Amino acid sequence: MKLLSRKSITAATAVAVLGGLSIAAAPSQAASPAHNTAAVHSNTAAPTLTARQLAKLPLTDRHLTKHEKANLAVVLRDYYVAEGSHIDVPTFVNSFTKDGVFNDMVAGQAYQGKALGNVLPYMKGLFSNVHRDLKRITVNGDTISIELSIDGTFDGQLQTPAGVLKGNGNKVAAPTADFWYLKNGKVKMFNCFVGYSKMYHDMGIDFDWASAVNKH
């Protein structure tokens, strides 16, 4: 699947880091997102998390060091600026190191440098209201592992080998596993495993297995 392009806006830190996310209270039950009460330009200050904000997160271990909390804040801000309602490309790109890379592990594609600017709008191009439902978060030093679901309404379009598939209004929930590796407060590598089979099924795309079998 090919990625598209994106746009800059103002993002939020502190409470707002959580404001745009559906944060799950437990793997099977989503909690109400925090209210956005403190917004600043995301590139003017490092994101931070209060004890109250941390308490709302589905952390597997709540005994985080100051360094781990800072790393988690960076990652949560990246999820926030990836929300369909307020995509912020520069903030996402600037969160990576100069040689940082985003790996779409299932699609087998990697993005670095300016190409990182193509990552966020892809899902928004499919689902204008795309958001991430974070279900389980594990923080271990400079490594953050997250179980989540990429949700939205298929109201965009998808370029396929057979032509352009237009949105049909189907609701989508794609199971996803994200692995973030940070260095000095920046993202060194982000490996994303999206459940494309489930996502395509939700979009109304069913692969023609019979045709594939009949070719052999």
* Amino acid 52: pLDDT: 94
Residues in Cβ contact with 14 at an 8 Å cutoff, skipping those fewer than 6 apart: 37, 38, 40, 47, 48, 49, 50, 53
Band (60; pLDDT cuts 50, 70, 90): very high
pLDDT tier at 22 (50, 70, 90 boundaries)?
Answer: low
Tell me the percentage of the chain whose pLDDT exceeds 90: 69
Mean pLDDT on 16-25: 46
**What residues does each domain of the chain span?**
15-206
* Rounded-to-integer distance, Cα 53 and Cα 34, Å: 8
Q: What is the pLDDT of residues 132-158, one digit of tens each?
A: 999 999 999 999 999 999 999 999 999
In CATH, what number does 15-206 get? 3.10.450.50
Q: What is the pLDDT of residue 5?
A: 31
pLDDT of residue 215: 72
SS (H, E, C) 172-195: EEEEEEEEEEEECCEEEEEEEEEC
Q: Kindly give, in sequence order, each residue whose CB lies less than 8 Å from that of residue 35, ignoring residues fewer than 6 positions away.
A: 15, 19
67-121 pLDDT tens trace: 999 999 999 999 999 999 999 999 999 999 999 999 999 999 999 999 999 989 9
